[in-house]
Amino acid sequence: MTPADHTPTPSSDTERIARGLRGGDRIVLSRAITLIESKRADHRGSAAALMQALLPDTGKAVRVGITGAPGVGKSTLIDALGSMLTTNARKVAVLAVDPSSRRTGGSILADKTRMARLANEPNAFIRPSPSSGTLGGVAARTRETMLLCEVAGYDVVLVETIGVGQSEIAVADMTDFFLVLALPGAGDELQALKKGVVELADMIAVTKADGDNIARAKLAASQFSAALHILSPRSPHWSPPVVTCSALTGEGIEALWSHILDHRQRLTASGELAGHRGEQQVKWMWTMLEERLFEPLRSDRALKSSLPRIEADVAAGRLAPSAAVEKIAAMLARA
């Protein structure tokens, strides 16, 4: 006996959205993103049907994740890189993964003012992360937004991590190339980046390599290169380079992009890119399922109000963790 096929089918409305996206309509793109970010049950079904219908049209873009400590110049570099790409007839989408946006409102909104050139480019699209939800939920919505942008004709998608910690892993898990930005003065910066971020890097770019900073930037680059040699690269077909660049002068921006294209060519030729993307899709599925299963813990008032008491009982030793899990699971089943 085979299980029933519950693959969502598109309605006439989702078909209209799909046609608009394929035509590159920015208004329709914004509408589609709003649909996939909605938590309403009927919208969720429509969003699933839309994504299923669009699946054959996705996967053509260069997906680049970008991270770096506060003050490293992420927005300025994205502005410079994106503007260079749009000048060369590329269409660029800039997305954000910001698990802290529930408190801050999504800092990429303010970053639009620091991406002055790109924000005014007709071939650029800048979108903040959803304004609420867990990191898993925000990352899942960002992944779907990335696919919608691909369908709408954006052939470069830059995904910026604004938060810290697990957000770097989330961005690395949805992109093809993970770019880590670092400041000149590598001593402290090297220590700060040791927490697993360097291991994710496909390239390290030392920013603000201009004026009096040039010598410090070159020294930092040599120290990062030494650190990378100790680590095993993520791919047998790619050794992460370390470059210097200046968003202010534009020096090194074209070379940075050339490395990204070289990486894509090598991993495509080896078949690694297709395999990597397939693994990402499966991770994405499980992340979204986990988010769906745990949603009642955040939305059901009765269930939500019971959790502090259960946690207190576990902390005080009155309730075994395993018994608490059974209790919560039973409540979830009734929700």
Alpha-carbon distances, residue 166 vs 107, 246, 287, 290 (angstroms): 18, 28, 13, 16
Neighbours of 283 (CB within 10 A): 15
Q: Look-up: residue for tokens 């991590």?
A: 161
Alpha-carbon distances, residue 1 vs 4, 5, 277 (angstroms): 9, 12, 32
67-81, 86-100, 130-144: least confident range: 130-144
Which residues are bridge partners to 63 per DSSP? 157
List, for residues 212-240, the tens digit of each pLDDT value: 999 999 988 988 888 787 777 788 899 99
List, for residues 14-46, the tens digit of each pLDDT value: 899 999 999 999 999 999 999 998 888 888 889
Who's near 62: CB < 8 A, 6+ residues apart?
Answer: 155, 156, 157, 176, 177, 260, 261, 264
Record the pTM.
Answer: 0.87
Domains of the chain: 9-55 (1.20.5.170), 58-270 (3.40.50.300), 285-334 (no CATH)
pLDDT above 50: residue 2: no
What ranges in the chain are assigned the alpha helix state H? Answer: 12-22, 26-37, 41-54, 74-87, 101-104, 108-114, 116-119, 135-151, 166-172, 186-192, 197-200, 214-230, 253-270, 272-299, 301-315, 321-334
7-16, 74-83, 196-205: least confident range: 7-16
Quick one: which of 238, 275, 282 has its CA closest to 260? 238
Q: What is the mean pLDDT of residues 135-139?
A: 75
Structure tokens at 147: 């696919």
List, for residues 270-299, the tens digit of each pLDDT value: 999 999 999 999 998 998 888 888 888 878
